[in-house]
Amino acid sequence: MHSTATSSEETDWRRIVGLYDLTLQAAPSPIAALNRAVAVAMVDGPAAGLALVDRLLETGELGAYHLAHAARADFLRQLGDIASARQAYRQALSLARLDAERDFLARRIRELG
């Protein structure tokens, strides 16, 4: 879906949500559920994505996964909750291992002031 769209805005995010629904039926996983949450946010807004990510984090399965915290941080940033976004980005940064990811997360934190 991404490779055929000319931009993020042109991506058929509803179809991607549906494809993740099928994936989760066939092979449930917290990573697929996280990816679905991001697609849901693209369709229904950051509050919808945040609610799904928070539920995933409550299970404990993704607590040590930096991208779950990074997604949560981005949704909070989009919603204007800068203090909570900063905290979530810091959590993601503390868990990230790759330099490029750590650099990106540190830059996001700096951008929040």
Q: What is the pLDDT of residues 31-86, one digit of tens each?
A: 999 999 999 999 999 999 999 999 999 999 999 999 999 999 999 999 999 999 99
For the cut 90, the answer to whether the pLDDT of residue 4 exceeds it is: no
- What does pLDDT average to over the chain? 95
Superfamily of domain 13-111 in CATH is Tetratricopeptide repeat domain (1.25.40.10)
Residue % of the chain over a pLDDT of 90: 89
Burial (CB count <10 Å: 0-12, 13-18, 19+), residue 72: buried
Q: What is the pTM of this model?
A: 0.92
CA distance 33 to 73: 17
Domain ranges for the chain, please list them.
13-111
Contacts of 77 (CB under 8 A, 6+ apart): 85, 108, 112
Q: What single-letter amino acid sits at 47?
A: A
At residue 14 the predicted structure's pLDDT band, cuts being 50, 70 and 90, is very high
